């Protein structure tokens, strides 16, 4: 999960939303949609501009999936034109946002909660420009639309699944940075394991995170360092973990390399997107993926904007509205016991109904 980290619907969009965008070269580089819209033009013409976080547009995670929503919206409605600019570091946020705000964009979409302060500052200087930020609230600002996801719910399902599949009795999770859009997934995963333990009278151990200690945990300090991701994952395996849940965007790809080197003794649960789509080379190691519908959230926002009314306030994606979820089991479908599949489905239903209460302090409100 890359924040500036997401639901199976999001990953289907990711796979078929058009050709690859321009790659952009650093903070000054940019990309644009290369497909002509094939849908019917409707509503007003808008120019939608996306500021990516670090990791590039093809990060196999957060940026890529958000851009997919832009591509899908533009493909369905030729009145929507799109472009993006990448960020090499946090120092690029404000310049990139400002560049688009004063460059004729109808709306500027910031990918990730790390841009919160920058978005708020630039939005104040350009009150006539509509902004949207993924993984953050609108911060009480009228020209910002917040797109948030309660990924603790999907993480909970992932944790329950991992606890039901482990053969060693030890699982692990680690993050890119200790920030809420990352730790919310880890909270959910930890809670899901605890729920399984209580329901089954087991004692599955979680390495890398304990929800009760929000200042602890294992982090790569990066969303792009695959070598660090591989090293952390191998360390967890050496401590007995046979299933690991990396919440680290592109850095998590290193976990795939660790699984490939483990000779079948290590499997993973991916984050944000269906790993079998976004990191297909490691599909055989992905039991499932805890997903969030980033592309769907962006697409829905742009469709509303093109109708003439920019959404206001905040959107929160959850299990009930399809904003978060658990991806298909893919190559693990025959390996996950039917009884466990039914239990996961029941846990999902119980979260939606409120029978199961998740306590992560990072949940959006």
Give pLDDT tens digits for 18-35: 323 333 333 334 565 434
The three-class DSSP label of residue 227 is helix
Taking residues 100-121, report their average pLDDT.
96
Query: In terms of domains, do 265 and 158 share one?
Result: yes
What's the confidence (pLDDT) of residue 7? 32
The three-class DSSP label of residue 221 is coil
Query: In terms of domains, do 156 and 263 share one?
Result: yes
- Count, in order, helices (H) and strands (E) of the chain: 11, 13
From 149, 183, 200, give the residue that closes a domain.
149
Give pLDDT tens digits for 83-93: 999 999 999 99
Residues of the chain with pLDDT > 70: what percent? 88
Q: How many Å apart are CA 115 and CA 315, to the nearest integer?
A: 17
What's the confidence (pLDDT) of residue 43? 75
Q: Does 193 score more than 50 pLDDT? A: yes
Going by the DSSP 8-state scheme, the letter that residue 338 receives in this structure is H
30-44, 250-264, 319-333 — which is least confidently predicted?
A: 30-44
Is 329 a domain residue? Answer: yes
Is 334 a domain residue? Answer: yes
Containing domain of residue 245, as a range?
Answer: 151-292+324-353
Half-sphere exposure of 149 (CA within 13 A, CB side): 40
What is the number of domains present in the chain?
2
Q: What is the CATH classification number for the domain harbouring 212?
A: 3.40.50.2300
Is 30 a domain residue? Answer: yes
What DSSP string runs through 19-42?
Answer: SPPP---STT--EE--SPP-S---
Is 360 a domain residue? Answer: no
Is 299 a domain residue? Answer: no
64 burial via Cβ count (<10 Å: 0-12, 13-18, 19+)? buried
Is 18 a domain residue? Answer: yes
Query: In terms of domains, do 144 and 165 share one?
Result: no
What's the confidence (pLDDT) of residue 318? 98
Give pLDDT tens digits for 295-336: 999 999 999 999 888 999 999 999 999 999 999 999 999 999
Query: In terms of domains, do 125 and 155 share one?
Result: no
Give pLDDT tens digits for 134-179: 999 999 999 999 999 999 999 999 999 999 999 999 999 999 999 9
From 149, 183, 214, give the residue that closes a domain.
149
Q: State the first-to-last Cα distance of the chain, in angstroms, to the nearest integer.
A: 20
Is 210 a domain residue? Answer: yes
What's the confidence (pLDDT) of residue 16? 31
Is 285 a domain residue? Answer: yes
From 149, 184, 211, give the residue that closes a domain.
149
Average pLDDT value over all residues in the chain: 90
What's the confidence (pLDDT) of residue 262? 98
What's the confidence (pLDDT) of residue 60? 74
Query: In terms of domains, do 204 and 342 share one?
Result: yes
């Amino acid at each position: 999960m890359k924040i500036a980290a997401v639901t199976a619907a999001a990953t289907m969009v990711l796979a078929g939303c058009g050709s690859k965008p321009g790659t952009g070269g650093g903070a000054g580089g940019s990309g644009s949609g290369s497909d002509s819209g094939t849908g019917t033009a409707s509503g007003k013409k808008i120019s939608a501009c996306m500021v990516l976080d670090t990791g590039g547009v093809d990060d196999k995670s957060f940026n890529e999936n958000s851009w997919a929503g832009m591509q899908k919206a533009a493909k369905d409605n030729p009145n929507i034109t799109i472009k993006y600019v990448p960020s090499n570091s946090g120092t690029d946020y404000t310049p990139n946002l400002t560049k688009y705000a004063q460059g004729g964009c109808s709306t500027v979409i910031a990918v990730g909660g790390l841009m919160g302060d920058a978005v708020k500052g630039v939005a104040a200087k350009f009150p006539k420009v509509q902004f949207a930020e993924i993984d953050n609230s609108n911060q009480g600002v009228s020209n910002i639309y917040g797109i948030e996801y309660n990924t603790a719910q999907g993480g909970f399902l992932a944790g329950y699944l991992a606890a039901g599949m482990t053969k060693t009795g030890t699982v692990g999770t680690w993050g890119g940075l200790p920030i809420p859009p990352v730790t919310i997934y880890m909270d959910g995963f930890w809670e899901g394991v605890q729920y399984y333990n209580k329901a089954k009278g087991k004692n599955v151990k979680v390495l890398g995170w304990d929800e009760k200690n929000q200042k602890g945990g294992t982090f790569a300090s990066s969303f792009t360092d695959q070598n660090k991701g591989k090293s952390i994952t191998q360390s967890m395996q050496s401590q007995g973990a046979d299933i690991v849940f990396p919440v680290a965007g592109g850095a998590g790809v290193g976990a795939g390399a660790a699984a490939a080197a483990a000779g079948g003794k290590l499997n993973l649960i991916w984050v944000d997107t269906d790993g079998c789509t976004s990191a297909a080379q490691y599909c055989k190691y992905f039991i499932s993926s805890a997903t969030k519908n980033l592309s769907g959230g962006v697409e829905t926002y742009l469709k509303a904007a093109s109708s003439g009314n920019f959404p206001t306030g905040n959107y929160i994606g959850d299990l009930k509205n399809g904003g978060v979820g658990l991806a298909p089991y893919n190559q693990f479908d025959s390996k996950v016991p039917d009884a466990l599949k039914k239990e996961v489905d029941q846990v999902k239903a119980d979260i939606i109904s409120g029978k199961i209460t998740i306590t992560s302090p990072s949940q959006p409100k």
